Structure 1
């Protein structure tokens, strides 16, 4: 059975003081029913490595380069993330794809590098509003997952977390209905199952896109939704704790 995972993407937000308040509230509030991971801005990873020592809360970086080192000003390597105890790397977020021009091929190379470093990729996929209204949501998701599948093979998906984030629901306050989200999650799992049913059954697929405490229980109760990747609500202590504790069953 897949264990629920709830992750916080803090994006470009935070300060040492506000982070400490959030982390203290998280540590005090989680009931342990879900795995939890936090993606802070990279400069705050050392703070998390200290504040979360001895807890079950994992953390990672929001982006990394696929090369191990070199003349890549402003970039981070997987080994640098490992130096500070990171377990996860967020990859393929729609903001990286749209604002910074990352292609499916770029994302696939990063996933391969993350796996080679012994870290866990959290692979973000999802369609824009225009693509959904054009009826090509499944085509877009298949293309984004397929690029990674072609690069690393199906067995690697036992170590990959997928986060389905409809772009039209990120930061907009709009959330896909539990049924809409479930339909896409089921499609993604069925697509993986064409290559290996056992691997597909093990792969955790999270939902992201304006997840809130009020919607989390219904979303997480769907058979193919294994948790959430949470943006804005992860910066509100009580809200994020409630989302993490919103398990069913």
Structure 2
């Protein structure tokens, strides 16, 4: 990754906005939509947006703000930016952000439009229900691993909380995901050559067994908290859970 994607809570926080015109107006809507308070003077602001047509003036102001400790976004000048603003799919509290590191706002916009059509409008309601249920789920499934397995199983395709299905009641007593072994014979180092089924298996695996030479781009499609074993053979005995064997 060239940048670390993060979500910043702006509710009630001062956000500096310098400039005017359509670009500044768009940033103002973004700031206010996230609950930020627009200010025109640098004092106390930790985040700043600069929307100026004069490139030299924008660069000078950005340098001064950075020296004062502000994180700065300069509209249409990614080389001057500490952070860039993604295209956003809003299913609050579920928010999907698509960034290109400033390479192409048009590409991010096209991807956002595709995801808008794909992601159900009910995602926000599902997220609120899941949040409200966390206490009871924690009481019934007291370990971090048990809770992770519970939520993974409850939200699996066709399960009661499938985000792309018609969500039902929360199955507090658990929907146990069946133990499974998925063998993936890699055709190349390009993750785009993986099938949807293979990508889904990687994304939900509890354990990934792979030889040392597997391309990082393939492993990046797996859950970051999945256990990984480097080797050319499966462990014996095979652990419970969902295992993917890359070959």
Which TM-score band applies after superposition, normalised by the shorter structure?
A: under 0.3
More strand by share: 2
Q: Normalising by structure 1, report the TM-score.
A: 0.26
More helix by share: 1
Q: Normalising by structure 2, report the TM-score.
A: 0.27
Find the structure with the greater CA-based Rg: 2
